[in-house]
Amino acid sequence: MKKTAERASKVIAILKKTYPEVKTQLLHETPFQLLVATILSAQCTDRQVNAVTRKLFSALKTPADFAAAKTSVLEEMIRPTGYFRNKARNIQQCAAALEQNHGGRVPATLEDLVKLPGVGRKTANVVLGAAFDTPGIVVDTHVKRISGRLGLTENKDPVKIEFDLMKIIPEKEWNDFSLRLIYFGREYCTARKPACPRCPLRVLCPYPDKTPG
């Protein structure tokens, strides 16, 4: 654990230099918009989600609007994000739950967020970090892949990875560390053909399948 924590500390330092300023790439003006955008981002790029939500948030603004919308209309509006039927159902059920149980406001605790339809720990931590500045580690596909490659966890389950990282990453770094790994995963440590020869973390990486260079 000590060696892993020491490696994590070095990883944090390099990532800070590589990406001094980080923030979520999902466009939003309110916690509810961020919640909807994050649900839509599953199996979809942030760029595609942003293209959809520009029109979506002009037409539907509040949880009440989403809950009352005709499902077929919402499905068509979010179709480009993929899995649009499941996402539409989750968003409408989530919006209805916000109206019924939270006065139309997005709750600011993990416990309450994960009780909402379609909201897991990843989505909850995105909202808590970006909308409420609450520390949390977001384990998306990038964070899962890279934390494994860097030897920061041996687990495959996202929740177990989250708790592994919480043990070795200082709490004040949780939000930005997740974002930096996401940035890093898009630019360097891609799923296929990672850019190992020019990777700023190469000297710290024990990943056995590094590309030569």
Q: Could you give the residue numbers annotated as active site?
A: 122, 140
Q: Hey, what are 153's tokens? A: 């966890």
CA separation for the pair 210, 73 (Å, rounded): 46
Q: How many helices (H) and strands (E) does the chain have?
A: 11, 0
CA separation for the pair 31, 9 (Å, rounded): 31
With tokens 């041996």, the residue in question is 154
User: In the chain, how long is the greatest CA-to-CA distance?
Assistant: 57
197 touches 211 (CB < 8 A): yes
Q: Hey, what are 134's tokens? A: 């609450």
CA separation for the pair 180, 17 (Å, rounded): 10
CA separation for the pair 98, 59 (Å, rounded): 19
CA atoms in the 13 A half-sphere facing the CB of 183: 19
